[in-house]
Amino acid sequence: GSIGVYTEAIAATEAPDAKGVLHSNRSAAHFALTRFAEAASDAQKCVELHPKWKTGYFRQGAALAQCRDYTGSIAAYEHTLRLDPVDKGCKKALAEVKVLAKMHWEPATTPPPLPCEGVADQLASVSPAPGPEAQKMEVSSLAQHCAPWLLVAEPHAGTGNLHTDAANPGSVYSRGAKLCQGDIYHLVDCKWWRSWCVFVQLHNSAGSVASSEAPHAPGPVDNGALLTDCIAAEWLELRGTLAENVDFVILPVKIAEYLYAIFGARKVLRRAVHMGSLARNIPYLNLHPIAVTFSHCLTHGRAKPQHQVRQHLVVGQAMTVRELLYVLCSKFFPSPPHKSRLWRIEPAPMVAFGEDDYKRTLREASIQHQAVLVVETNDTQDEAKPRGRPGLPLL
């Protein structure tokens, strides 16, 4: 790769300035691979060999900030500005590092607790299998006594069927039953569901029909095809291109548990109903839940900083960065502060989200499961009442 090319070039170069530039380039390559200690080391060699070149100091400041050496990072950025006092990128980076230095953030010692909808497990069949007609009658009976078939995914995720009542278009319904925050539903692979429907001769919206072949009982419910290739042992992450009634169906808890008891299950997928935020304050089924750790840091004013207080929250990767900032601010303030900004501290690299990022989804912004976030504000206790919604960059 590029690191090997730069290493060979460094060994073949004698001129100090040229070698310093090569060390700077290799530092950038290490930084792109999140090898921040190696990036800082190469940047240090660059400034030693080429002390009058501002880029070496700038890259040293960036690498040291990711290593949480904020004092060294500030010194490197200030040296950059002595060489080029009008460098706007360096001024912005220096201001961000000074904010990070005030956060006094330490790496998380314990991950956030896993929500029930994300826990992976495997269930064995526990009851003798009744005949197909008995299964169809029991599922039909359960469907009458619990929430009807759910036909909605995230309201702005681009997948699933969104059904609203004409008299109240602001609410999402599942065939007449309003969704309730906190309710749990199960996702089941559509292929398995169709095979079961054929077995019991059940016609349904997922497209199963009576088969001319002799029906046979399906095996255990297996949702492995719905999951990403790289998943944590305790966390089940859905692929991002799934569609309801094409790849999966959504079943009420009682129906899903009844089928698990008969057939067993691998990779049980539970998902909870959440409330939307901002303009979409409607209930929706959170297909892509992630658990994040977040905190608040006050960087200006006389109010006491609260960055030591950490909280955990389950959110959906389909929500936008602006919506997440609004939700997090509501955890700290009765009314959203006028000036606020969201930081992603972990995973590396640390990022301050700007106004251009607010329309991106959490997936697009690389805010993933077990991410560590900080809400930065600079309001004072005696400031006028908060104005507007969060999301404006700090001035």
b/e code 277-298 from CB counts within 10 Å (16+ = b): beebebbbbbbbbbbbbbbbbb
- Structure confidence at residue 45 (pLDDT): 95
Rounded average pLDDT over 350-356: 88
Place of tokens 């700077």: 24
Q: How confident is the model at residue 118 (pLDDT cuts 50, 70, 90)?
A: low
Q: Which domains does the chain have, with CATH numbers?
A: 2-102 (1.25.40.10), 116-285 (3.30.2230.10), 289-377 (3.10.20.90)
Q: Is the pLDDT of residue 203 over 70?
A: no
Contacts of 244 (CB under 8 A, 6+ apart): 151, 152, 153, 159, 160, 161, 250
The mean-pLDDT minimum among 38-42, 60-64, 96-100, 387-391 falls in 387-391
- Residues above pLDDT 70, as percent of the chain: 70
- Structure confidence at residue 112 (pLDDT): 56
Sheet holding 265-266, edge to edge: 122-123, 265-266, 221-222
pLDDT digits (tens, 9 = 90+) for 17-72: 999 999 999 999 999 998 999 999 999 999 999 999 999 999 999 999 988 898 99
Name the 3-class secondary structure at 286: coil
Q: How confident is the model at residue 381 (pLDDT cuts 50, 70, 90)?
A: very low
Rounded average pLDDT over 102-108: 59
Name the 3-class secondary structure at 394: coil
Phi and psi torsions of 179, nearest 5°: -70, 145
pLDDT digits (tens, 9 = 90+) for 226-277: 888 655 545 677 887 788 778 888 888 888 999 999 999 888 888 888 776 6
Q: Is the pLDDT of residue 7 over 80?
A: yes
| Alpha helices, H only, the chain | 2-12, 16-32, 36-49, 54-66, 70-83, 88-103, 132-145, 190-200, 253-263, 321-332
Q: Could you report how far apart the first and last alpha carbons of the chain are, in Å?
A: 40
Distance between CA 226 and CA 150 in Å, rounded?
18
- Structure confidence at residue 41 (pLDDT): 95
pLDDT digits (tens, 9 = 90+) for 122-165: 777 776 788 888 988 888 888 776 654 443 333 333 333 333 33
* Tokens read off for 25: 């380039």
Before 155, cis peptide (omega within 30)? no
- Structure confidence at residue 73 (pLDDT): 93
Task: Identify the CA nearest to 122 among candidates 202, 11, 236, 245.
Answer: 236
pLDDT digits (tens, 9 = 90+) for 273-311: 877 665 556 777 788 888 888 877 766 554 444 445 678
Contacts of 283 (CB under 8 A, 6+ apart): 171, 172, 178, 179, 180, 181, 273, 274, 275, 276
Distance between CA 30 and CA 321 in Å, rounded?
28
- Structure confidence at residue 277 (pLDDT): 61
Tell me the chain's radius of gyration from C-alpha atoms: 27
- Structure confidence at residue 116 (pLDDT): 59
Q: Is the pLDDT of residue 353 over 80?
A: yes
Q: Do 172 and 154 form a contact (C-beta atoms < 8 A)?
A: no
pLDDT digits (tens, 9 = 90+) for 309-331: 678 888 888 888 988 888 888 77
Q: Is the pLDDT of residue 172 over 80?
A: no
